[in-house]
Amino acid sequence: MKVLSVFGTRPEAVKMAPVVAELRKHSNIESKVLVTAQHRDMLDQVLEIFDITPDFDLDVMQDNQSPTDVAAEVLRRIQPILRSEQPDWILVQGDTTTVLAASLAAFYNRVRVGHVEAGLRTYDRNNPFPEEINRVLADQLSDLHFAPTETARQALLKEGIPAERIHVTGNTVIDALRVIVSRPANGSLPTYPSGKRLVLITAHRRENFGLPFANMLAAMKQIADRGDVHLIYPVHPNPNVRGPAYEMLGNHPHVTLLPPMDYLGFAHLMGKAHLILTDSGGIQEEAPGLGVPVLVMRHVTERPEAIEAGTAKLVGTDTATIVCEASRLLDDSAAHEAMARAINPFGDGHAAEKIVRVLSLPSIY
C-alpha cells in the first residue's frame, strides 16, 4: 500500500507528524511525504523537530499570496506527482487551502483521500474564513474520515457521510504533545519577571483583521496594565497582524513581542502559562492537555467539545468582555482551577495508531 501524506502549514505538520511516524513502523506500507510549504519557515521548524524529510516539496509560498494563489499552485504542481507515484491513499489534515486543493487533485486523479481531523464545524461559512468551507468540501471529497470526537462524527453523519467511512480516533495533536513535552526546549525560552504570571497570546485570524483585532489588542494592553502579569505574544508575520501589534504593544513594559516560535519552544511556553488568550483553533486542543485555561477570542468555534468540557471559553472580540473574563481567571483562583483541571476531551494520545490501523484493514479495499 502506498500512502502519500500531504501538508503545508505548521499546525498540519504538527498533527500529521505522529501519523507519519506510525506509518514508518509498518513494513507493508510505502509512506511518502509531500509538503506544499504554504507557510515555509514555520513548517520547516516542525519538520526538523519531528525528523521528517519530505519526499516532495512544492514550495508554493509567495509574499502576500491569497488562498486562490495557493490553491492554484498546489493543484498545478501536485498533478505530475500523483500521476508518477499513483498512491493508494492521500492523507490530509484539517482545513487549510492545502487540504482542499490536495483533496480535489486526488479526487480528479481517482486517488482515495483520508481526512484527519474530519467533521469540525462552526456552521458559519465566514468564521473561520476560509477554513470552514475548506473542511466541508474536503470531507465531501474524502473516502475515509478520521473524526477526533463523537461530536465531529455526528456532524459528518448529518451531512450524509456513511457511518462505515467515519472513525473516531481522538486528535493527533495530543500524540504530538506527548512527544514534545518529553523533550527539552531548543535553547532558552523567553523570560519574564519572576513573581509575575504569564499570559500567553496568539492572534492572527484573517476574519479578525481590522477593528476586531484592534479591540483584541486594546484588551491585551488593559490586561498588561494590571502590572501583576506579563504577556508574551509571538507575532504572526502577516502585516495585518504585525503592524498593529507592534504599534499598540511594542513599547509596553509588561509585554514581550516575539517572532513566531518553533513548536517545541512554544509548547514548553504553553506549559508555563497561567492563561492563554488566542483566536487559534489548535491551541483549544493543546492547552487543555497541559492544564492551562484558554480564552478564545472568536465568536464561534469548531471545537465545541472544549467549551462543553470547560477547558476553554468563547469571549469574542469585544475589549471589555475579554478583559472581564481574563480578570476573572486572574483574580479568582477557584475559577482558574476549575478550567485547569477540566478533562481534555480530545483523546488519549494514540490517535495515529488508530488511523493507521484503519488504513490497514482488509475491508478498506
Tell me which residues are annotated as active site.
95, 117, 131, 204, 206, 236
b/e sequence 225-258, b meaning 16+ C-beta within 10 Å? ebeebbbbbbbbeeeebeebbeebbeeeebbbbe
Phi, psi of 324 (to 5 degrees): -60, -50
DSSP 342-363: SPP-S--S-HHHHHHHHHT-GG
DSSP 270-324: HHH-SEEEE--STHHHHHHHTT--EEE-SS--S-HHHHHHTSEEE-TT-HHHHHH
Contacts of 248 (CB under 8 A, 6+ apart): 214, 217, 218, 220, 221
d(CA 246, CA 46): 26
**At 222, is the secondary structure helix, strand, or coil?**
helix
All three cell numbers of 161: 457521510
All three cell numbers of 167: 472513525
b/e sequence 120-151, b meaning 16+ C-beta within 10 Å? bbbeeeebbebbbebbbbbbebbebbbbbbeb
Burial (CB < 10 A; 0-12, 13-18, 19+), residue 289, is buried
Determine contact, residues 295/326, Cβ cutoff 8 Å.
yes
DSSP 81-142: HHHHH--SEEEEESSSHHHHHHHHHHHHTT-EEEEETTT---S-TTSSTTHHHHHHHHHHH-
